[in-house]
Amino acid sequence: MTPRNTFIASLVGTAMVALCWFTPVLVIVLSALSLAAGVVYLNFGLLPLLAISIALTAIK
Q: Cα dihedral sign for 28, 30, 13, 58?
A: positive
Tell me which residue of 26, 7, 19, 6 sits closest to 50, measured CA to CA: 19
For 5-57, the pLDDT digits (tens) are: 878 887 787 777 777 777 788 788 888 888 888 788 877 877 787 777 777 76
Q: Does residue 1 sit in helix, strand or coil?
A: coil
> Does residue 4 surpass a pLDDT of 80?
yes
User: What does the pLDDT read at residue 60?
Assistant: 59
pTM score: 0.48
Q: List the chain domain ranges.
A: 3-59
